Amino acid sequence: MPLRNPPPLYSDFPLVTHSIAEFNDRLRIAHQGNQARFMQLNLSGEYEEDGETLQVLVDANRNQVEEDEPLVVERDIDSCLGISSHILFDCAISVWTIPPSNLALKSSIHLTREIMYQGTRHSDVQYHHIPNFELGSMGDRRQLNVFFPKLWTPELAKRGLPWKISEEKRTFWYERAFRPAIAALLGDHIASEWPPTFAAEKLRAAKNRKGPIPNETMASTRLIPQEAVGHLADAIRRELTYDVFIDDEDREWVSDFFFIHTIRGVKDANRHRVDPQLAEMAVERFTNMSHLVHNHHLKGLWYVDIGIEISSPLGRCLQWSTAGHCSVVEEVLHISTAHADRITTLSSSKYSRDLVSHLSDVSGFRIVPGPQAQGPFQAAYVQAYTTDKTLTSNREGQHFVKFIERKDALGLKQPPTMISSLHDIYTQAQEKNSSKARLEVRVPWAHGKYVLTEFNPAIIENALYSFTREEWWEFRLWRVFAISNVLGLQSRGPTYKRFSPDSLLLTAACVWLVNSLHARPDDGPSSRDLMDAALPVKVAADVLDEQLAYPVSTNETNTQHVAYIPFGYVFLRRMLCAKAFLYFFGMDIVQLKRDFQHSGFVDNDVIEETSRSLHLAEKEYELPRPVIDDGSDVDESERPPTPDPANPDDTIDDELAQLWRQFVSDLTSKSPNPRGGAVLPSYMKLTRTQRYSGSEDPYNNLHLYEIWTDVHYRNASEDDWDVSFNNLFPPLGFKSSTRKQGYKNSPYYLRWMEILELNVDNAGLVEAIRSEFRKRVFAWKWMPKAESDKMWVTSSKKDGKKAFLRWPPSDKQAAAPFILLKQDAVPVFEPPEDNDSAGDV
């Protein structure tokens, strides 16, 4: 949503241009002095000099490759994709007995297929949207996937896992198609070594359920000999044709399959000089080493990824220039300037810009040219990137490099381990790791021997920046330092400040920054909200294309305020909108406080023992209000919800009366259920209305049969009651448990944590409040045996529970709530006899 009244940038201050090396020098000096000024310089670009505030502008253009700088350009074949109705590997292959559901083509290969569905032709279906699974492999760099286009539907393509095939259909494939074909092709004596059914193999693999590897990936593999591989597809189709017990619907989807052969990451085995003759020899060598059948490219659709790699013999770090994208694409694809300009504009759906190290002038790109701009080589895909990302590559889920999760930035340990690891990696890389610039073009096999053999090297060189190893990695290190300092200071500060909207914005921005330092910045919808909140903003029509933080139209009619990067480097601004919370933290502010706010981490020195019993308003006590920043720079409708401030006419006694009522309501409503979850009735017999009423009556009722179905009880000393009370209303200086069952979901407890945070230096007020609450609790006849990590305890397995009696009695001391009775209390477990029914004597 557009900002109604966007504020000026943090900085209307005079600009001072810095090279990467000069900015490193300034950061180094700042880091040796005031840390607050260092963080401000690194994260906002502001600094003071001679009493004047100035703004850094980082200019990477000062590092453009010099004309006489030596560079080495090599060509290679990195990978290829083959789509065919038969398997075209000319070697033995290892296949899964049952196809694991988690091994499939899940991401785009930038190619599409035409599919007819219910009489409608769909011409641009992405291959990873077609249900598929990995059939087998030939080592780590060659995979074979099987696809079932008849299972594709437009609705399925819009879902989260369009590639996934149900277990029912994978069972059908194995038992009615794959295994029968193996028996027919290799003989029953070979098939007898294969699992008899899908369920049997799944059961065998289940013995490893508790191991570190997901269950299905423990499925076994078998080798198909070289002489049988080429006949396997026909054998499968033949078995399906002759099986008269298969209904037509199943026969249709399971018979219509095709394969994608993937060979990847083999560029090091195919390097050669940029020369047409060597290029032709490289294609032949690639075919032989990949074990592909003769004339494989004539038996399906085959695409090959051809690359050039530019390196520095001086060991410098090379990076692509954002401004050079258009000229590079025009040169290597042999297309017109107009087409090259069109497909390298950020508003183009064909083009993705991959910012590097938060520098707007430095970026790689990914382009799907489309029919008009594919050029004579029919390029399907082009990408430019650098090799420094390999230092942090680590595929995990949807991430391909090391990353930090939002919860990591809110944990008790700061900075997170991943940030510390980045510091070590970047420090070591300063001495040992340069970076190379790569350009790869995906073309049909027939053009593989021609593409990237004739181009003007000067155009490529003019599109590159060159940095020393020391300055490049130091530049990244300073941002890691700044983010580490921010998260560390937040973790040590008062949590009511840590969970303010501004502070949470800074946390979310730090997560986004550190993850985009060595990978493509996330620019999905929620990340755009974050960028609009944290980065400088400007009317889209007034922003230069190379300064845009994410793709958006810069048409003169677009008056939306959008995030942009005006100073050559991503510097921050302020305030996070509400709808981004669910994405970045997976919860709203209330839930965030409940799960991560661990108040009370203060020095025991602030505790001043007092046991005065008093009416707090009469003694002129007041509860300080949390600091609320009303200076929002976002639309009020986008702000995260904040609790209504207390009525200014309320006294401290009024506020504490509300807190007390909330405490009783929370305590009673959190009474536990038997193991098995909320579907089982609670141990407490009270109705929902009674439990949420805030009434203290249940705690003064010793007719426990009216309250409980099961209960552990004992008469307890005042000291025992104090232990439970202190867990319910912790004093200043307590050590919070990271596990707080019942507490973290209780509004009273969150408010009590806030009171502690706001009164760190006012132990007298805290103890006065606790004294009043203690009097009320100690007036009860029973209370829960509250522990530091559980409001209600039900397990009898821990030490110290043997002194409790159970009602009803149980030989196994079955689970039930534990309560403390007053020393002289006598519990009643049966209703009195009805004397009216007795006859007169």
Question: What are the boundaries of each domain within the chain?
Answer: 79-263, 604-821
pLDDT in the model for residue 192: 94
Mean pLDDT within 340-344: 96
Q: State yes or no: pLDDT of 737 exceeds 70.
A: no
CA 617 to each of CA 626, 650, 657, 831: distance values in angstroms, whole numbers, following the listed order: 19, 10, 12, 44
pLDDT in the model for residue 554: 87
Lowest mean pLDDT segment, chosen from 442-451, 557-566, 576-585: 576-585
412 vs 122, which has greater pLDDT?
A: 122
Mean pLDDT within 178-194: 96
CA–CA dist 223, 136 (Å, integer): 9
Best mean pLDDT range from 270-274, 734-738, 802-806? 270-274
Q: Can you spell out the DSSP letters for 683-715?
A: SB-S-HHHHHS---GGGG--BHHHHBSSEEEEE
pLDDT in the model for residue 120: 95
pLDDT in the model for residue 626: 52
Q: State yes or no: pLDDT of 8 exceeds 90.
A: no
Lowest mean pLDDT segment, chosen from 240-249, 322-331, 688-697, 747-756: 688-697
CA–CA dist 522, 539 (Å, integer): 22
Task: Report residue 400's pLDDT band, with 50, 70 and 90 as the boundaries.
Answer: very low
CA–CA dist 721, 785 (Å, integer): 8
Q: At which residue do the structure tokens 């035409």 appear?
A: 114
Task: Report residue 100's pLDDT band, with 50, 70 and 90 as the boundaries.
Answer: confident
Do residues 455 and 331 lie in contact, with contact meaning Cβ atoms separated by under 8 Å? yes
Specify the DSSP class assigned to residue 13: S
Mean pLDDT within 156-164: 91
Q: State yes or no: pLDDT of 598 exceeds 60.
A: no
pLDDT digits (tens, 9 = 90+) for 681-701: 789 998 887 888 788 889 999
Mean pLDDT within 190-200: 93
The size of the chain, in residues, is: 841
Mean pLDDT within 349-372: 94
Do residues 302 and 287 lie in contact, with contact meaning Cβ atoms separated by under 8 Å? no
CA–CA dist 516, 505 (Å, integer): 16
pLDDT in the model for residue 249: 92
Task: Report residue 1's pLDDT band, with 50, 70 and 90 as the boundaries.
Answer: very low
71 vs 834, which has greater pLDDT?
A: 71
**Which of 20, 59, 70, 67 has its CA nearest to residue 462?**
67
Q: State yes or no: pLDDT of 579 exceeds 50.
A: no
Mean pLDDT within 99-120: 92
Using the CB atoms, write b or e for 168-186: b if 16+ within 10 Å: ebbebbbbbbbbbbbbbbb
Q: State yes or no: pLDDT of 178 exceeds 50.
A: yes
What is the helix (H) or strand (E) element at residue 805, kind and residue range?
strand 805-807
Sign of CA dihedral 763, 766, 769, 775: negative
CA 16 to each of CA 54, 58, 567: distance values in angstroms, whole numbers, following the listed order: 7, 9, 10
pLDDT in the model for residue 371: 93
CA–CA dist 472, 464 (Å, integer): 14
Q: At which residue do the structure tokens 């020095």 appear?
A: 603
Sign of CA dihedral 374, 378, 381, 387: negative
pLDDT in the model for residue 206: 73
CA–CA dist 475, 60 (Å, integer): 12
Mean pLDDT within 46-75: 95
Task: Report residue 635's pLDDT band, with 50, 70 and 90 as the boundaries.
Answer: very low
pLDDT in the model for residue 389: 75
pLDDT in the model for residue 594: 52
Hey, is 495 helix, strand or coil? Answer: helix
Lowest mean pLDDT segment, chosen from 25-39, 321-335, 447-461, 676-690: 676-690
Task: Report residue 757's pLDDT band, with 50, 70 and 90 as the boundaries.
Answer: confident
Task: Report residue 421's pLDDT band, with 50, 70 and 90 as the boundaries.
Answer: confident
- What are 58's strand-pairing partners? 18
Two structure tokens written together for 555: 């048409």
Query: Could you tell me what percent of the chain has a pLDDT over 90?
Result: 57
pLDDT digits (tens, 9 = 90+) for 580-590: 444 444 445 55
CA 305 to each of CA 105, 439, 448, 586, 743: distance values in angstroms, whole numbers, following the listed order: 18, 10, 8, 38, 57
Task: Report residue 595's pLDDT band, with 50, 70 and 90 as the boundaries.
Answer: low
Hey, is 729 helix, strand or coil? Answer: coil
**Which of 567, 572, 386, 382 has its CA nearest to residue 467?**
386
pLDDT digits (tens, 9 = 90+) for 469-516: 999 999 999 999 999 888 888 777 666 667 777 788 888 899 999 988
CA–CA dist 141, 307 (Å, integer): 17
Do residues 356 and 465 lie in contact, with contact meaning Cβ atoms separated by under 8 Å? no
pLDDT in the model for residue 5: 41
User: What is the residue-averaged pLDDT of the chain?
Assistant: 84
Q: State yes or no: pLDDT of 141 exceeds 70.
A: yes
CA–CA dist 20, 28 (Å, integer): 12
Mean pLDDT within 448-457: 96
pLDDT in the model for residue 399: 44
Q: Can you spell out the DSSP letters for 406-453?
A: GGGGGSSSSS-HHHHHHHHHHHHHHHH--B-EEEEEEEEGGGTTTTTS
CA–CA dist 348, 360 (Å, integer): 18
Give me the phi and psi of 383, to 5 degrees please: -145, 145
**Which of 196, 199, 195, 197 has its CA nearest to residue 220?**
195
Give me the phi and psi of 710, to 5 degrees please: -145, 145
- Secondary structure percentages of the chain, helix, strand, coil, to 5: 40, 20, 40
pTM for the predicted model, two decimal places: 0.71
pLDDT digits (tens, 9 = 90+) for 269-284: 889 999 999 999 999 9
Do residues 785 and 819 lie in contact, with contact meaning Cβ atoms separated by under 8 Å? yes
Lowest mean pLDDT segment, chosen from 239-253, 436-450, 600-614: 600-614
Task: Report residue 3's pLDDT band, with 50, 70 and 90 as the boundaries.
Answer: very low
Do residues 464 and 385 lie in contact, with contact meaning Cβ atoms separated by under 8 Å? no
CA 243 to each of CA 189, 231, 248, 252: distance values in angstroms, whole numbers, following the listed order: 21, 19, 11, 13
Hey, is 170 helix, strand or coil? Answer: helix
Mean pLDDT within 350-363: 94
CA–CA dist 367, 351 (Å, integer): 5
Q: What angle do CA 541, 542, 548 make, to 5 degrees?
A: 85
pLDDT in the model for residue 116: 94
pLDDT in the model for residue 441: 98
Task: Report residue 409's pLDDT band, with 50, 70 and 90 as the boundaries.
Answer: confident
**Which of 775, 787, 806, 663 has its CA nearest to residue 720?**
787
pLDDT in the model for residue 403: 63
